[in-house]
Amino acid sequence: MFKHAIVRTPGSTLTRGITSQPELGPPDYQLALTQHSAYIRALESLGVKVSVLPPLEEYPDSCFVEDTAVLGENWAVISCPGAPSRKDETAHILPAIRELYPEVHIHRITGPGTLEGGDVMQVEDTFYVGRSARTNDEGIRQFQEILRPYGCRVVPVKLHDALHLKTAVNYLSHGRLLVAGETGGGADFAGFEKIPIPPEEAYAANSLWVNDSVLVPAGFPCVEAAIRALGYPVLPVDTSEYRKIDGGLSCLSLRAGR
Ligand code: GLY
């Protein structure tokens, strides 16, 4: 059960966010704000209390708060983003994390380690961590050391193409994974029931289980139907403007209390 989420309103510099798909054009800022409000309302409708942080104009990608930390039930880890332009976003997330966790249980990944929260997928007490262009072996090693005393297991997953692990794989519940692309058939996830995502709907692999419902990016009918068929209530949320700068549903929030 997620009780709390942290989000950050995008600044107008969102239009300069990092993107691997410049052909999609820059985000429409006003539409992005409207979509952000709808995202917050969707979380609130599922019983989540949402803390909304103010825009940080100097950090175009700072609305993707998920990358700046990983939140457990009784611990938090401040990340060390691998994208140079995002490194200092972590200092700005700290005050909101201090509202939720005592200092003694707030930990940090430090350089040369890098780790972004988009690479971390929780399945109960196991944390799968993508080894990506943003998260390196040293970051994963530090994360493992931090979580060991809490009885949590860390499983590294090698990525080749995906920006983050959760770009391609997301856990729903009851042993089910949404999988797209390179990691779809990976032995790393043996034992899970895999829900394959067709290539043309790969973006929707980043759907978000929240308190027994699933937020699905709007406009991906196959994924929506597959999730509904499993019995989950589905909330479509439009993230078209965030997609233009490689942002997905999960990136837009940090969730606590599972
Ligand atoms: N534009 C999101 C990211 O690259 O982190």
Q: Cα 18 to chain center, whole Å? A: 16
State the pLDDT at residue 184: 53
Q: pLDDT by residue (tens digit) across 94-127? A: 999 999 999 999 999 999 999 999 999 999 999 9
C-beta of residue 133 within 8 angstroms of C-beta of residue 147: no
Q: Sketch out the chain's domains with CATH numbers.
A: 4-256 (3.75.10.10)
- Distance (Å, rounded) from C-alpha 174 to C-alpha 3? 20
C-beta of residue 141 within 8 angstroms of C-beta of residue 113: yes
Which of 63, 80, 152, 251 is the catalytic position?
251
The SS3 assignment for 85 reads helix
CB neighbourhood size of 258 (10 A) = 14
- Find the 244 Cα to ligand 1 centroid distance in Å: 10
Q: pLDDT by residue (tens digit) across 34-46? A: 999 999 999 999 9
State the pLDDT at residue 120: 98
Which of 152, 164, 174, 222 is the catalytic position?
164
- Find the 245 Cα to ligand 1 centroid distance in Å: 6
Beta strand pairing call for 193-196 and 176-179: parallel
Which segments of the chain have a pLDDT < 70?
Answer: 182-187, 258
The CA–CA distances, whole Å, from 54 to 39, 123, 153, 197 equal 16, 31, 34, 35
**What tokens were used for 215?**
């937020």
State the pLDDT at residue 94: 98
Q: Cα 150 to chain center, whole Å? A: 22
- Catalytic residue status for 164: yes
